């Protein structure tokens, strides 16, 4: 875990990280910080999903949402996340989005490991069948499609399936080709991938009618952008569960909530800049996103699909 925490800070100036070295108690477990005193925060509404059906849940719905308050939302780094997510001028967009997907999964996986580590005393991880019988985010419960039907499964099972699914996508040579592309790839004209209303054609259920698509010149399939949206949506749901169910235990108690915030801000910046996760999907975490926008942690250029806006003549 130490190597992960060191690697995610590369490229940024460090903030005040003294508290990140949580003191150890005699039994070898991290010393716990006292629980913050704050009033309960409003709950997030549920919403429909095209990938899985959401229904009301109550497992952690009434827990105080401390992470929605500014004093509990620090970051462990200083810097502009746009420098990490903006596509370099001479890099093909498909290649860059593939890099972003892999990087965002690397960061998320490090955070998920925190709740998946087995407790030497209880023999169970913090997120287990008993503590998290459903994949919840406040009053929202995510369901998994089983034999074509929405089914409630425990959070650890849901997260395990998401991780296996993402890894299978990343290692799929069709989805993420690694072979050499003959010829000189040209950077794809991004506005060619947009419908007249400004939304990506990959958002529709039908295949794009155009002969061009994001990543074509680098060997990516026509569904690549849509697949990236699906992966990022499931990663967001994991973040929503981490905050709503596990922000206090363990992240606050081991003084790693600021690293969780850093990973989440980076994720949201990429998601918004390339329109990979819809605003509707982000509702369970909207108060925290609004807070980071207010703090200018999420750059203004990333809002409302900043990358696409830069490709239109009117933005010049």
Residue 252 has pLDDT above 80, yes or no: yes
pTM over the 0.85 mark? no
pLDDT in tens, 299-311: 988 987 766 555 5
Residue 120: pLDDT band with limits 50, 70, 90: confident
pLDDT in tens, 128-138: 999 999 999 99
- Annotated binding residues, written as ranges, equal 127, 132, 241, 246
Residue linked to tokens 């005040």:
16
Separation between Cα atoms, residue 105 and residue 169, nearest integer Å: 11
Length of the chain: 316
pLDDT in tens, 60-95: 566 779 999 999 999 888 778 888 999 998 999 999
- Annotated binding residues for Zn(2+), written as ranges, equal 127, 132, 241, 246
Residue 210: pLDDT band with limits 50, 70, 90: low
> Residue 42, Cβ neighbours under 10 Å: how many?
9
pLDDT of residue 160: 97
Q: Where do the domains of the chain lie, and which CATH numbers do they carry?
A: 49-315 (1.20.140.30)
Residue 288 has pLDDT above 90, yes or no: yes
């Amino acid at each position: 875990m130490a190597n992960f925490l060191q690697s995610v800070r590369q490229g940024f100036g460090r903030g005040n990280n003294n508290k990140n070295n949580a003191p150890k108690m005699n039994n070898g477990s991290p010393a716990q910080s006292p629980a913050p005193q704050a009033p309960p925060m409003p709950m997030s509404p549920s919403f429909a999903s095209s990938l899985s059906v959401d229904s009301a849940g109550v497992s952690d719905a009434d827990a105080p949402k401390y992470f929605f308050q500014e004093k509990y939302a620090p970051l462990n780094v200083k810097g502009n996340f746009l420098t990490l997510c903006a596509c370099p001028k001479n890099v093909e967009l498909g290649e860059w989005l593939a890099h972003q997907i892999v990087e965002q999964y690397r960061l998320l996986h490090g955070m998920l490991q925190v709740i998946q580590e087995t407790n030497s005393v209880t023999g169970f991880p913090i997120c287990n069948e008993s503590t998290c019988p459903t994949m919840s985010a406040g009053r929202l419960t995510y369901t998994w499609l089983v034999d074509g039907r929405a089914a409630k499964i425990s959070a650890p099972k849901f997260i395990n399936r998401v991780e296996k699914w993402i890894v299978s996508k990343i290692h799929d040579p069709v989805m993420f080709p690694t072979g050499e592309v003959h010829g000189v790839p040209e950077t794809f004209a991004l506005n060619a991938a947009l419908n007249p209303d400004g939304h990506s054609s990959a958002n529709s259920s039908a295949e794009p009618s155009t002969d061009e698509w994001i990543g074509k010149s680098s060997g990516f399939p026509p569904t690549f952008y849509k697949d990236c949206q699906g992966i990022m949506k499931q990663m967001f749901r994991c973040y929503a569960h981490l905050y709503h169910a596990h922000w206090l235990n363990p992240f606050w108690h081991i003084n790693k909530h600021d690293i969780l915030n850093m990973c989440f801000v980076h994720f949201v910046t990429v998601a918004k800049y390339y329109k990979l996760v819809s605003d509707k999907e982000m509702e369970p975490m909207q108060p925290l996103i609004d807070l980071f926008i207010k703090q200018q942690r999420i750059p203004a250029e990333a809002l409302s699909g900043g990358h696409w806006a830069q490709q239109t003549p009117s933005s010049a």
